[in-house]
Structure 1
C-alpha cells in the first residue's frame, strides 16, 4: 500500500511517541492523538476475520468502510484470529496482504489498526505477526501481545489471553502453538496480571476498556474461559473496568448488568456459527447474533455508545454506558 510523505511523517511520529513514552508498568505504552475538537473518540471493532476475503469477509469490510466514514472513525481494533487457519508463516507470507491490505481498502479504514493475537495466530509464526516489517508493508498495522493505548479520555488495556488457556498446553490436538517468549507460562501470566493491575490502578483515564481475544462471559460456541474468570475477571472487577471487548466466538454479543463491567463480543468478521448458542440469563444477555458483522463505539466524557451491525450494515443492537458521577 502506498503512503504519502505526510502520512509517513505522522506514522513515524506515532512510532517515536510509542518508544519514548513513559511507562506506568512493564506493559508497552503508546498514544493515539485526539483529533476531534470535542475530544470524542470513534472506532470500530472486528475479530476472527483473516480468510483472504472469503466467508463474507470482504462484504463485512465494505460495510465497515461505510460506517467508518459516517462516524469519522479514529482507528480500528482487531480482537484476534487475524489470519486463518494457522497465523502467518513469516514476515513475507502473502496472507498478510491477501487478508488485510487487499480487503480493508475503503478510505475510512485507512487508519491505525490495533490488534491482539488469537489462538489461530499462535498456530503460526507469532513474531512475524508482531514484526515491524509488517508495519512497513502497511503502515496501519500494529500488533503486540499486551500493551496500553491512551487516547484522550480513554485507556485501552490490550491483553494476550492465549497463554491463560490450559488446553492449548495440555491437549493441543493436532495443532502446534508458537510459545516462544511465553514460557515459562506461570511466570508469564503472573507478570502480565501484575503489570495489568498496576497499569489500571495508576490510570487517570475517564474510561477504562480491556481488550482480549477470549471471552469471559459468553453464550457462544466456545463458552466461558474459566481461566479468565478465575484470574483476569477479578482484576477487571476490582478496578471497575467499564468494558471487556473480545472475539473468539464467531458472533456478536452483549452481556452485562447496570453498574458492572459490560462484556462485548465482536467475532463476526468472516466465518460465523449459525444456531450455536448456549443458555444464558436473559436479564444479562442483551444481544446474541450468530452471524457476521462488527461493532462501533463512540466515546464522550460522560457516555459510551456502542452499536452492532450485521453483514449488510443493518443495526442489530445499540446500547450506552454513562458515567453518572460526571452527569451530576
Structure 2
C-alpha cells in the first residue's frame, strides 16, 4: 500500500468517526420534539399563596367530552378542589365546531353542563367568543347568562375587577377578537355575526378602559393570540397592530388567548406584556417556536393563574396533573 492510499483510508476513517460522534449527540427537546430556546422551568407541586387570587383558564374545549375534554375537566376539578379557584375564564371556541343556535341548544348540556359537573367547577365562568362560536348564534352565549347560574357573559367585551386588598385591585379585560380580524369578513356565510359588530366601538372602549385604569394588575383575555409561533395560525397581525401598542403604553401585565391548540409563553424583545396561549382544553396540535418564544408545548390541559400583591404566577398543567411550565412576574 503506497502513501497516497494510506492517506485516503485515513481520511475516510476520520470522517466516519466524526459522523458517528455527531449522530450520537441529541439536542434537548420537548415531548413533541420541538426544540426550545430555553430549558423549561416548572414547580414540582402547585404552590399557592394564602393571599392570592387564583383563577383557572381553559380554551377551545367544546367537543362533546371527546378529544381529551372530559379528562381535562376532571383534572381541573381536582386542582380546583385542592388548590382552590375564585372563578374560571374561558378563552373562546366554547362550542366546536359550529357554535350554538340558542340558549336551548342541546350542546349547552352535552358540551358544558354535563362535562364540567364536579362541585368544584360550579363557580362563575367568564367567557369570550371564539371564531367557532361565531359560526353560530353569538348572542345566545350572552343570553345564557340569564339561564345559567355560573355562566357570566354580560356583553361581547367587558371588564371584571377583583380586589385582593383595598390597595391591590386586579383588572380583567375580556375582548371580542373575531370582529377585529379581516379574514372573517371575507366569509360572511360562515361568520354571519361578524359583520354586525362595531370593531371601532370596541377599540375606543378598550382605550377608555386602559386610560382610566388605576389597578395594580391588568390582565387581558381574547380568543386569538397576539403573538403565536404555531404553524397552524401564528401571529395575528391585526392584533399586533391594535393591541400591542396599547398594552405597552398602559402596562398590561399579561394577555391570555386560545385559538392555537397548544401551550405557549411568548415575549417579544423589549415587551412589557407577557403573552400566553392556552388553547389546550380538548384537541391539541403540534407546537413550534420562533424568536418570541419562551416556552411551547403540545399537551391537553389548562392554565392556573395566581395573583398576589407583588407577583403574578402562571402554571401550565396537563391532563395528567403535571405542571409542565411555571412563570412568575414580579412587581
Specify the alignment match of 1:163 in structure 2: 179
Specify the alignment match of 2:39 in structure 1: none
Q: Select the residue among 80, 86, 90 that pairs with 2:102.
A: 90
> 2: distance between equivalents of 1:180 and 1:163?
7
> 2: distance between equivalents of 1:40 and 1:115?
22
Task: Give the CA deviation at 1:301.
Answer: 0.9
Q: Give the alignment's TM-score, normalised by structure 2.
A: 0.79
Specify the alignment match of 1:11 in structure 2: none
> 1: distance between equivalents of 2:195 and 2:138?
8
Q: Select the residue among 270, 276, 279 that pairs with 1:264.
A: 276
Q: Name structure 1 gaps, 5 residues minimum.
A: 1-36, 183-187, 324-328
Task: Give the CA deviation at 1:179.
Answer: 3.0
Q: Name structure 2 gaps, 5 residues minimum.
A: 1-48, 164-168
Task: Give the CA deviation at 1:175.
Answer: 2.4
Q: Give the alignment's TM-score, normalised by structure 1.
A: 0.80
Q: Does 1:197 find its partner at 2:212? A: no
Specify the alignment match of 2:240 in structure 1: 229
Counterparts of 1:1-328 in structure 2 under 5 Å? 39-131=51-143, 134-143=144-153, 144-152=155-163, 153-171=169-187, 175-179=190-194, 181-182=196-197, 188-220=198-230, 221-256=232-267, 260-273=272-285, 275-277=286-288, 279-281=289-291, 284-323=292-331
Q: Deviations over 1:61-117 (max 9, x none)?
A: 000111112221000000000001110011110101111111011222111000000
> 2: distance between equivalents of 1:286 and 1:140?
34
What SS does the aligned partner of 1:141 have?
Answer: coil
Q: Contact between 1:214 and 1:246, CA under 8 Å: does it hold in 2?
A: yes
Specify the alignment match of 2:5 in structure 1: none
CA spacing shift, 1:219–1:259, aligned 2, 3 Å: closer
What SS does the aligned partner of 1:305 have?
Answer: strand
> 2: distance between equivalents of 1:129 and 1:200?
26
> 2: distance between equivalents of 1:250 and 1:259?
24
Q: Contact between 2:263 and 2:278, CA under 8 Å: does it hold in 1?
A: yes
Q: Contact between 2:248 and 2:271, CA under 8 Å: does it hold in 1?
A: no
CA spacing shift, 1:88–1:150, aligned 2, 3 Å: same
What SS does the aligned partner of 1:88 have?
Answer: coil
What SS does the aligned partner of 1:54 have?
Answer: coil
What SS does the aligned partner of 1:321 have?
Answer: strand
Task: Give the CA deviation at 1:286.
Answer: 2.1
